[in-house]
Structure 1
């Protein structure tokens, strides 16, 4: 069949104490013709989301996939996952056994895309800027453990951490630590609009209609000096309203590849009877979906309500009916392919049980049916989301213990409303910032967490998360993560639902598609080339 399947190595392993440079930029050719990639991600400027591409604000997969092409970090995660390696840096390492001091030396001759010099002072400025702005939507939680930074000349920077953190190199590999120019990014306010300036492998020209990007044109940056080999001269990223229209453009040859989010029906079709000259590429994925709770809202403040929901949700039926073979049930925040995973929710609640849920509510004195609204976004995670939430509603209501309704909101309004605490129960997805169990725990349960959740567990925040970050060998950090997962299963501040695989579909002449996404769903457009048809 006209299908490729890629098997990648394990994504969690030893964090090496020293990162050494391992290559340089390449100049692979594609004949000058732009490679056109489709996505259903929408990039919009609104009052609530004024700066979608500012590293101090952006904290979603779509925006980060734009930034990863255009900005540069000190280190990056290799194409197949694993330990971060230098990019803007020539070398990086912890300088102490406690993993509290991290030193990076920059490559010589670094420049921004406009030709201006890039120094350690720019690195300091960029990261301090994120800390200063401290935007509620932004990725500040990834950098909050930085105590102080010091530069030594133009080519060296040292990060002193508040507490030991063996995962810090992974955090420096995210766009939260993107290097930006002082004269284009204000120190204490966001840079609005769709412009991006950096020192990454591409420059960006965004074409937009009104407040929405319709096309992002990435042109190879002649000044890029880093570890990535760039195999094309230009890539266009086009936004589509839905997977069906995106698929039609691929099949007609008007676009060369499509990525997130393909529909389950498309994946099934391309697996069994792929269109002529179209390949489906399957690769491991670390995406999870879950329900989140505003634990201060009266409807779900009593954890018995959340526990009862955990006891009746049928994850297997949910995954199979909506996503088929592309998803599997998830019984923890940490997916099965990540070290430290345990099936804590299954261990506590077992198979879906109305009787168990009724007993939980009765023991807590909760009157039934419990009235709930399940909030979800219909335009961000793909076309299966509406069906998924309809099934969730029906599973809850069929017990007679809940009276559940649904409400869909477009992403530009949905995310700010969720952060503001307007939803008691809401659905979200998570694509990891880096492939480590810490990134499935701290963003949900730590201070300045991604959800802006009022839920707080002192043992998790003050003891278990810090304890988990001490071990350089991440496989040795499993015990605190196991305890955290059991606490989450008992308190249910979030309710894990399923984890998914990831796919791209591309015209047969496009090369490098097996590396187009890494395990964290990072788009790697520089890997794409155009071969012989």
Structure 2
């Protein structure tokens, strides 16, 4: 289960308006023989109530508040977007009646909406709702995760009920991918961040919110008024089962039907127990550390961050934590993404460079009189990686502690900067839409989801150039400059990328895991 090496690639991955996913990292098929079609299994008509066992629930159901896997699995079923992703990485109309038309100068996008769409509360979905959604995403007070995706929108206006016209300040190469990611909300709901939709929902998607029991289950019911083809299952329940052994047992004894985020080293075990399992080649997760940028924290010092970056044993983490289904990583713009530069992605190497780490530590002038605190998101893989980082830092002469918390537990610290390092794993470009501009959301000083509050004027300028560069050659050059600056500054300390494994029941005839981080392929189960 090893990632194979590829040459540095910046090949074209977009065809007209269709953004094509480039997340394949060339991983060999997961050992254990668990992959493959389940067409020979019993028909899935026996399953009316689909149960998905998850490690954790979303800390909020607000589709503007989070873009984590836990959140998107929920709101991609409850909300619709203007466009949608196909599994081959192309874009298709969703709420749009057809793909948008774009002016020759790239500044005007015209979107025709399909008729007779309603929200779950029965109100009509019109162009005014799309305009409302864009304006709420643009409002910096809302802190929407989609803020950077609408940064170049000058105006959005409704022309009647079925047409939206978007004017841009500059040609923005990735607006189509954002139109497939931003969930459309109703203008009849007065939006308040993490309040209006925090524990309920009002979308137009194939399922509607039914109930939420914190720490136990989140239940959805099929939307019988859905404008598209009806989904197979009457209900979808996300059941919170944090223990891997329990999730595997529930799957193999028929209590559940899908287990996302399966540890890669458990693929063979699941297969031997009669269920399906595979490593999803195109679904890539990035392991990194948020460094606090508060002035009183040692991690606000760039040399201190570079000391940490050079001290980490990335290959040990790949081998021991991810069973080899991963790669060391040094750049935010990660492997498989359009315009990723593989040479820069390997800048910190597979093994620690303690001499260089000590040089940066000395240059930082930091002399810690306490232990460095590492918070690891409550995920077995991330916690295991954190203990390896802890040991690496000890070799550098830095004592550290590891504290495991869920997102809700450490989020206040992340926002306030009251921490040293927070280890986290996050989907790569799937989190914002199969395009390199997810980097802008994490490293631009003005982005709402730049949680570490990294601020670097040179990086801001480089990102602005990359976001608006026209033509493949100019875009490749601009994104390489971003990656060069990233290696020099490490606004997020990059550690590794890994591929996600998934298990599913033999009863799910025709089901295959999605290349996205949400359950995109449920619509294909007939």
- The answer as to whether partners of 1:311 and 1:354 remain within 8 angstroms in 2 is yes
Change (3 A) 1:152 1:318: same
Change (3 A) 1:220 1:11: farther
- The answer as to whether partners of 1:377 and 1:409 remain within 8 angstroms in 2 is yes
TM-score between both structures, scaled by the size of structure 1: 0.83
State the distance in 1 between where 2:413 and 2:11 align: 34
Query: 1:186 aligned to 2:190?
Result: yes
Which of 34, 50, 71 is the matching residue for 1:63?
71
Which of 17, 22, 30 is the matching residue for 2:45?
30
**Partner residue in 1 for 2:40:** none
**Partner residue in 1 for 2:315:** 316
* Structure 1 residue 363: Cα displacement: 4.2
* Structure 1 residue 86: Cα displacement: 1.0
Which of 197, 205, 209 is the matching residue for 2:202?
197
Which of 130, 135, 138 is the matching residue for 2:137?
130
TM-score between both structures, scaled by the size of structure 2: 0.84
Change (3 A) 1:110 1:136: closer
Deviations 1:229-248 (A, max 9, x none): 73444332222132221111
State the distance in 2 between where 1:98 and 1:481 align: 22
Q: Compare 349-358 and 290-299 and name the one that shifted more.
A: 349-358
Query: 1:39 aligned to 2:54?
Result: yes
Deviations 1:276-296 (A, max 9, x none): 244446332221010121233
Deviations 1:491-533 (A, max 9, x none): 122111111112221111213432x322x41222633637xxx
**Partner residue in 2 for 1:468:** 466
**Partner residue in 2 for 1:325:** 324
**Equivalences for residues 103-502 of structure 1 within 5 A:** 103-132=110-139, 134-136=141-143, 138-174=145-181, 177-183=182-188, 185-188=189-192, 190-208=195-213, 212=214, 214-226=216-228, 230-259=231-260, 261-270=261-270, 274-280=272-278, 282-295=280-293, 296-342=295-341, 343-344=343-344, 346-347=346-347, 351-367=351-367, 371-378=371-378, 382-400=379-397, 402-431=398-427, 432-462=431-461, 464-471=462-469, 477-502=475-500
State the distance in 2 between where 1:446 and 1:35 align: 41
Q: 5+ residue gaps in structure 2? A: 1-9, 20-42
- The answer as to whether partners of 2:511 and 2:522 remain within 8 angstroms in 1 is no
- The answer as to whether partners of 1:14 and 1:474 remain within 8 angstroms in 2 is no
* Structure 1 residue 254: Cα displacement: 0.9
Query: 1:529 aligned to 2:525?
Result: yes
Q: 5+ residue gaps in structure 1? A: 1-9, 20-27, 45-51
Aligned length: 488
Alpha-carbon RMSD across the aligned residues, in angstroms, is: 2.8
Change (3 A) 1:417 1:301: closer
- The answer as to whether partners of 1:41 and 1:240 remain within 8 angstroms in 2 is yes
- The answer as to whether partners of 1:29 and 1:232 remain within 8 angstroms in 2 is no
SS of the residue aligned with 1:109? Answer: coil
Change (3 A) 1:58 1:404: closer
- The answer as to whether partners of 2:330 and 2:346 remain within 8 angstroms in 1 is yes
- The answer as to whether partners of 1:277 and 1:507 remain within 8 angstroms in 2 is yes
